Structure 1
Amino acid sequence: MAQFTDFNLKLLVVERLMYHDGTLAPAFHLGAHLVEQGLVEDDGDPAYTYTEENGLAHQVVPAARDYFTALEISPELLATVEELLFEGGLRVYFHCSPIWDGEDDLYDVRSLDDLPLLPNLKRIRGAEFWPRELQKTLRERGIATGR
């Protein structure tokens, strides 16, 4: 199975495959996961409650990080990814950080070393706001940015 070195790039791929395409299943739901792990009661919004009670606002909840880090994605499934979206309102971000306002660099992609895992990637919408060196790497690989 493919191993990602940049957690945030992996999350963009997970967003596409799990929450957009529905091909990476089952979809992860942080609240349900926390309840299953016995970390919080199933009342109200367990993900928000757990995050708030444990001082994890504006951070990736460790249970979510562990889940997505360990999540295996087959090369065949990765080959289906042609477009990614980078924006603050992604569902995967909500399931990692229920109390996050998108006003910091928590989910900024820092490395594109994992691009070979995505052989058919043609566009990353939102990457036009990434640092110049990352945009240059995308251009050199023929990957478009922008809407």
Structure 2
Amino acid sequence: MDHPVNFTALAALRPGDAREDLSRALGAHWCEPAPHQQGRVTALSKQHGFEAQIDTAGRIGAIRYREPFPATSGVLGLRIGMPVAEALAALPQLALSHRAPVYDSMYFVADVSHETKLALEFRWQELYAISLRNPAAVYPDKQPMAYPVAAGAPGAPFGDPNFKLAVMSSLLESGALDLAEPGDLAAFVLKRAVDLEEDGYDLISEAYDYLVRYPLTEADLAKVEAITFDGGNEIYPYCYYFWDGESEDFDISSTAGIGLCQNLRQLTCIAMIERLDAADLVGLGKLEALHLPSVCDNPGRLLELPALKKLTFPETAISDPALIAALKARGVAVRIDA
């Protein structure tokens, strides 16, 4: 079930506010920070650009708003996406801290009060992030991540272990799955301190073996709304930190079992999969957008997807003009990539 986000309440939060204020503003999105998170509350970080950190006194020590936090919810008269000149007009006390060539970035700082420091990050002359912090805040020490015990066959409940990684990446990227940091997982499976600057240039087989046997519940699968097959997915650094996307370590040969993701709305095949069997998709009653790979087996089964609204595919995937016409007649927007 989708829960609305009260962006106005989030924009009104400040360092020094109580944990309970943060909890009320987040509503159904509130989740108590795990011991390894050092007080960080990140449930909305990836999808909505908001995160906060609670100090040892039980108060907000730091808040960060970044794109895509909505511009309609202003913070101290500032809004995400506003030009540098407008920000300086709104807060004349802003001082340039430094510049960076990446994203043509500019950083400004200001004192909001004796207890609150403000930092702004601009990318390409537009406000990308607003950070507020209490420099005196003390945060909990980081504790080890409590990883669940691996269980089942590799890939379960799916047939292809690499497909399971893509599903887990969807959960990771939406904030529904917490694996801590890649170095934390490596240290857990290797049972030693790990420096990924040294150990991250090869596949860590122990991390891969753990991930493909990670216990996914029905509740986890119900949270999967979009799956993308792409070498840039967030899951891969957890077992191959410096993977360049060029090898075949994570290629997907089957999507069997995808029907377990009953709330899937979007499936995008960018890379790492050459063929998809449309029969695997039958039963996904909420699937609205589909981007096929080079080969599509049983393409006629696409007509059995009741919610399908947008279909994109290379010309090699579907060659039957009657099928394409039938899909268009059902109101599906079809785009063929040359």
What TM-score, normalized to structure 1?
0.72
| Distance of 2:198 and 2:265 partners within structure 1 | 39
- Give the Å deviation of 1:30: 2.8
Matched, 1:95 2:248: no
Query: Mapping of 1:20-35 within 5 angstroms?
Result: 20-25=173-178, 27-35=179-187
| Distance of 1:28 and 1:7 partners within structure 2 | 21
- Give the Å deviation of 1:99: 2.8
RMSD between aligned alpha carbons?
A: 2.8
Q: 1:80 to 1:103 in 2, by over 3 A?
A: same
Secondary structure in 2 matching 1:85:
strand
| Distance of 1:107 and 1:129 partners within structure 2 | 7
Contact 2:161 2:212 in 1 (8 A): yes
- Give the Å deviation of 1:139: 6.5
Query: Unmatched 5+ residue regions in structure 1?
Result: none
Q: 1:108 to 1:137 in 2, by over 3 A?
A: farther
- Give the Å deviation of 1:123: 2.1
- Give the Å deviation of 1:95: 1.3
Matched, 1:6 2:155: no
- The structure where helix makes up a greater share of residues is 1
Contact 1:127 1:135 in 2 (8 A): no
What TM-score, normalized to structure 2?
0.35
Contact 2:259 2:280 in 1 (8 A): no
Contact 2:160 2:255 in 1 (8 A): yes
* Correspondence for 1:72: 215
* Correspondence for 2:226: 83
Secondary structure in 1 matching 2:165:
helix
Q: 1:105 to 1:4 in 2, by over 3 A?
A: same
Secondary structure in 1 matching 2:186:
helix
Matched, 1:131 2:285: no
Higher relative contact order by CA 8 Å / sep ≥ 6: 1 or 2? 1
- Give the Å deviation of 1:121: 1.9
- Give the Å deviation of 1:86: 1.6
| Distance of 2:265 and 2:291 partners within structure 1 | 9
In the alignment of these two chains, the number of paired residues is 134
- Give the Å deviation of 1:62: 1.5
| Distance of 2:273 and 2:177 partners within structure 1 | 26
| Distance of 2:279 and 2:271 partners within structure 1 | 12
Q: 1:129 to 1:39 in 2, by over 3 A?
A: closer
Secondary structure in 2 matching 1:104:
coil
Contact 1:6 1:109 in 2 (8 A): yes
- Give the Å deviation of 1:65: 1.4
Which deviates further from its counterpart, 9-18 or 113-122? Answer: 113-122
Q: 1:4 to 1:28 in 2, by over 3 A?
A: farther
Matched, 1:115 2:267: no
- The structure where strand makes up a greater share of residues is 2
Query: Unmatched 5+ residue regions in structure 2?
Result: 1-151, 293-311, 313-338
| Distance of 1:6 and 1:48 partners within structure 2 | 30
Percent identical among aligned pairs is 25
- Give the Å deviation of 1:119: 1.8
Contact 2:170 2:227 in 1 (8 A): yes
* 1:38 aligned to which of 162, 185, 191: 191
Which deviates further from its counterpart, 117-126 or 9-18? Answer: 117-126
